[in-house]
Structure 1
Amino acid sequence: MLEIERRGQERRRDLLIGGKPRRTKRLQSRHLAPSRNVSVGEAHEKETRASPLHRGDIVIENVEVVHSCFTSEGGNERESANRRERRCSVISEICMTGRRGKMRPEGDARSMLPKVDDIGRFALFLDLDGTVAEIAERPEAVRVEASTIALLGALRRAAGDALAVVSGRDIAVIDALLSPLRLPVAGVHGLQRRDAAGRLHRSGDVCADLERVIRAIEADVVGDAGVIVERKTGAVALHYRLRPELEARCRAIAERAVRDHPELEVLPGKKVFEIRSQGGDKGDVIEAFLKEEPFRGRVPIFAGDDVTDEVGFGVVNARGGVSIKVGRSATLAHYRAADLHELHRWLAELARVAEAERAR
């Protein structure tokens, strides 16, 4: 059984979730007209009347327990570990049970994107693969279009440099993909972080036996053509995108890899199982950025497409921010883009409006 699933089951006594996964609002670029949008302020006012995790189709009996796992900060190492376990429990219930959310119908009045009048009030956090760049069959084949890099540059200027990429990639790989841009980044799903001043932060200790674990995984898949082992700092990813029929086999390999190593955990994703040293997650790094300049005091916007982004959505929701899921699967996010192209059109509109305001 995967570690994240085990944690979810252990916390069932605290979290009783029933019904269908929550349906999310779909991003609609044509809904940017002022007369057809609600403001972020209006959306936040609604959030104060209903917990972000207690609306729509999800029923959570102990809302206080769930809300605290996304809002609590500080504490000792044990308290932080317990908070991460509670977060994993929430994500496990919603995203690991095989249930899938449905997109709201086209033209549904409830499917409007909150209008962002002044992007300068916001801090932008973006996942990389599947959000900034198209997912490729092989991780090394991913490329970021020149037009997308230009868009990120425009967004950074519009947001007063409060733009960060929060990814499962190593920081060095992110820098290479986004060159010549050099942004604040978080890598390996929260194990690494580089702040706006260029300082590097690391969360948790790298498993001492990680190299041996990686070699064992490589030996396990030597006869499985198309299964890719991607080495990272403090982690290894087992990709089966080219061989989706081997999902169960890859799952078993990932489970076996962490069985005798409690300091390792498994993070499932889109056609991948990632084995990494335990440490911070995407929610943790978003919280860390929001305590620092130029992110401090701003409302967070976070867009992502995979299961590991859900913890970030929970943190952003708890802060009254804007969470955007790219794709169709069940999610905690309040808004949804059909694909990254729809998201990019919306982001480009934000940058265009900000540029027009500066030109006045």
Structure 2
Amino acid sequence: MTPTLESWTSVRHRLSEQNKILLALDFDGTLSEITERPEDAVLREGNAPLLEALGRKPNIIIGILSGRALNDVSGRVGVPGLIYGGNHGLEIRGPGLDYLHPAAAAAIPAISDAAERLVADLADIPGALVESKVLTLTAHYRLTPPQYHDSIAMIFLDTVGPLLATGACRVTAAKMAMELRPAVDWHKGYALEMIRFQLASDAFPVYFGDDETDEDAYDAAQSVGGIGIYVGPPSTETRAICRLDSPAAVSAALADLLALT
């Protein structure tokens, strides 16, 4: 359920009062525009220098938390000195932090095998894409005609069914996608909490995201008095307490934050 939303002006005022800020952001749909194919996503023009300049501020720690593999998202952002979290925070790396969830590492062979089988099983579905991310996998259907969506879901669940039956993995939903993850109690919210605890327990957390998988991070930030900022249309329900229209608005907010600090 969407709470009463704060304006960016109100959020900006709250940020101006903080001594230290943990600034965490998703990548796709937040720092980049949503693309039909995951491999086509790029950092919005101008975001790299903004992140570099904000990262040089002594009172700001920046974390990028993505569903992409860690090497993938860190390569697409390309800004050194930041904290990067891949696979929804199952792997985190940056100055002062190097983490790989042990249970997730143990599931790598099973998920790799499932990815290979899904590529074959979805080969006849137009537009279906399987993204193997080592620790997780995602089946995308953004390019698939709507009449095939139910078929993709059935094939996906049938293919990964044995892993679900053993309790080794679980399925989650994302934008026009289904994801297979290790069945560990872990998500972006826990990743945000780890970064804050390890590197800046006194920092004010603010998290920007656009997807259902970001809701846990909004909760984590707001549970300690911070701010969750949803990026997207007003018709979408979210637990974040602020909303911005688009990745372009995120870029503007970053520029505003830079001027503020």
TM-score, normalized by length of structure 2? 0.88
Alignment counterpart, residue 151 of structure 1, candidates 50, 53, 59: 50
Aligned counterparts of 2:58 and 2:64: Cα–Cα separation in 1: 14
| Letter of the 1:258 counterpart | V
| Letter of the 1:337 counterpart | L
Contact 1:327 1:339 in 2 (8 A): yes
Alignment counterpart, residue 162 of structure 2, candidates 260, 270, 275: 260
Kindly indicate which of the two structures has a greater share of residues assigned to strand: 2
**Residue 149 of structure 1: how far off its partner (Å):** 0.6
CA deviation map 1:120-164 (0-9, x unaligned): 421111011111111111111111134111111122223635110
Check 1:258–1:203 CA distance in 2 against 1; reply closer, same or farther (3 A cut).
same
| Letter of the 1:25 counterpart | L
Q: Residue 217 of structure 1 aligns with which residue? A: 118
RMSD: 2.0
TM-score, normalized by length of structure 1? 0.65
**Residue 244 of structure 1: how far off its partner (Å):** 4.7
1:191 aligns with 2:90: yes
For structure 1, list consecutive stretches of 5 or more residues without a partner in the other structure: 1-20, 41-112, 355-360
Check 1:26–1:343 CA distance in 2 against 1; reply closer, same or farther (3 A cut).
farther
For structure 2, list consecutive stretches of 5 or more residues without a partner in the other structure: none
Check 1:159–1:304 CA distance in 2 against 1; reply closer, same or farther (3 A cut).
farther
CA deviation map 1:151-179 (0-9, x unaligned): 11122223635110011011111121122
Contact 2:188 2:217 in 1 (8 A): yes
Q: Residue 290 of structure 1 aligns with which residue? A: 196
The range that moved more, 239-248 or 199-208, is 199-208
Alignment counterpart, residue 243 of structure 1, candidates 133, 136, 144: 144
Contact 1:230 1:236 in 2 (8 A): yes
Q: Residue 221 of structure 2 aligns with which residue? A: 316
Aligned counterparts of 1:180 and 1:125: Cα–Cα separation in 2: 14
For these two proteins, the number of residue pairs brought into alignment is 252
Q: Residue 258 of structure 2 aligns with which residue? A: 351
Q: Residue 127 of structure 1 aligns with which residue? A: 26
Taking only the aligned residue pairs, the percentage that are identical comes to 26
CA deviation map 1:246-280 (0-9, x unaligned): 32222223322332212111121111111121232
Q: Residue 178 of structure 1 aligns with which residue? A: 77
Check 1:23–1:215 CA distance in 2 against 1; reply closer, same or farther (3 A cut).
same
In the TM superposition, 1:1-360 aligns within 5 A as 21-25=1-5, 27-28=7-8, 32=9, 37=10, 114-118=13-17, 120-158=19-57, 160-205=59-104, 206-207=106-107, 208-245=109-146, 246-261=148-163, 262-279=167-184, 280-293=186-199, 295-328=200-233, 329-354=236-261
CA deviation map 1:59-100 (0-9, x unaligned): xxxxxxxxxxxxxxxxxxxxxxxxxxxxxxxxxxxxxxxxxx
| Letter of the 2:2 counterpart | R
2:46 is paired with a residue whose SS is helix
